[in-house]
A and B are shown apart, each in its own frame.
Chain A
């Protein structure tokens, strides 16, 4: 019985998930300079708080911008970070 409930929940969640709009990184590329600045400022606030929750916050200069694209996905999953906050931290890290 538990297995059936679990499977039903899993399929329902996946169905809902696929119908939702995925947020592409391209959207971030198409943002206006003002929006980039806003994200950067927000990222500067969140970076020391969110990262230090688990480990020391590492500076953006440690990794290439394309590496941060991967690492931020890993951290978004591990930390269950909200999408908007993840984008802001990524903007801050890539700006070094």
Chain B
């Protein structure tokens, strides 16, 4: 616009002086050119300055970032230094602990922590046995039994503890002998420790009736090779049960003065047949049996003697077990037991009886049984005049005597002639003396009596060599019952003798 105005003004004065005008115009143009150049340079300068400003701004931002990074690094260095100081302190503390001697209890706890809360172990017993028995006077028309055989039995018990108030327990039995080979699950149960006074047990367990099945039946625990008659070949109450228990114990006076209880219920009793005198069947067969009723039992025991009086340990107990078998027939039983030991002397005994209601209006199948036994450790023995080394051997002996008997109206001939159970969970009858829980040859009579003499040699508290001589003195009377129920008077039954030797290791 400025250039156009000047051009118009120049044309208006053209008439006055062309030369003057041309010079002025030239001058103006030169000025304009100069102005354009200056403006151009200014723009370049401005552009250059802008670039510099931008570069400076970028540099400043980088400086700020770097400063922030430096601050972060510094913070991290401080934290790391602190951690290092703490680590050094911990190392010093650990070094002090490592240098100090570790206490036994702490070591035990450390091992237990390493092992965890779940733990299990295997215990139990194994034994080999030799039986010699020649039944010269076997029963008429019945299996003529004789023995001159070796046996072996292995009974591992597995204990599994998932926590300190639950325990699982299982006992397997494997028997090998002349009368057969078999395996069996003797017990399999769980135990829940509810509190100080109550424990729940569920599963397959030894019958908590009296003392024998639960506490005396393990091979290394039983002082004799055989079981007493009412707990062996002719049981008066079932040896085991499948059910649930509630049990516990408590102190009622001074130390050692205790009271305990066990109540339980289960599948109930079962028998090999419906005839008089039929043997008790294994509890594991109950599940498939016909119409069993359920059972209920209770046992109470008291230990009246305080430990500090040194009067020994006395146990007095009473038990009852009742239930129904085949089609609602009653089975009732009760018993009492005692156990007393002081010093090297130990005595125990039980008395029990049962009533079995029979079907079809038959007379009831009543049974009674008992045993008493005594043993004396020769621990303190010192026979004068013989070398000490001989006395050391003599002190390991324990002589024992036991008298047991069973009374029942009749026995089943089917059971007599059946295979023996090798002390396992099957029907444990037979004339042949058998391992562990079985009895002696002449015992399977309606009125059996047995005197058992034993001499145990204790190599260790749970390793024993046992020798037993059985004198069978069955009384006359009673009947033998066939599978159809036909009864034959038993009459006079000959006496018998048997020798048993057993080496047992409790592990």
Contacts and interface: CB of A to CB of B under 8 A. Distances in A.
B220 interface: yes
B196 interface: yes
Give the dominant DSSP class at B's interface: strand
A12 to B, nearest CB: 10
B378 to A, nearest CB: 14
Contacts of B307: 45-46, 49
Contacts of A36: 105
A34 interface: no
Contacts of A76: 193, 199
Q: For chain B, give the interface size range.
A: 35 or more
A64 B358 CA distance: 52
Contacts, number: 147
Interface string B165-195: 1010100000000000000000000010111
Interface string B89-132: 00000000000000011001101100100011101000000000
Contact of B258 (A45, A63, A67, A82): A82
B221 interface: yes
A77 B313 contact: no
Interface stretch (B31-39, B63-71, B259-267): B259-267
Give the dominant DSSP class at A's interface: helix
Contacts of B193: 22-23, 73, 76
Given A16-B198, A78-B214, A58 B462 contact: yes
Interface string A16-45: 111011111110010000001000001001
A82 B167 contact: no
B462 A56 contact: yes
B54 interface: no
Contacts of A52: 313, 341, 346
Given A29-B109, A53-B341, A80-B261, A73 B119 contact: no
A71 B159 contact: yes
A54 to B, nearest CB: 5
Contact of B265 (A10, A23, A25, A55): A10
Given A24-B164, A80-B247, 16 more contacts: A6-B265, A23-B193, A26-B164, A45-B307, A45-B308, A52-B313, A53-B315, A53-B341, A55-B506, A59-B461, A65-B108, A65-B111, A66-B121, A69-B164, A71-B123, A80-B248
Question: What 9 A-B pairs have minimum CB-CB distances, sorted nearest first?
Answer: A17-B194, A20-B195, A80-B260, A80-B249, A56-B461, A83-B196, A25-B164, A70-B159, A55-B221
13 contacts: A2-B294, A18-B194, A20-B196, A23-B193, A45-B307, A53-B313, A67-B123, A71-B121, A74-B167, A74-B169, A76-B193, A77-B167, A82-B250
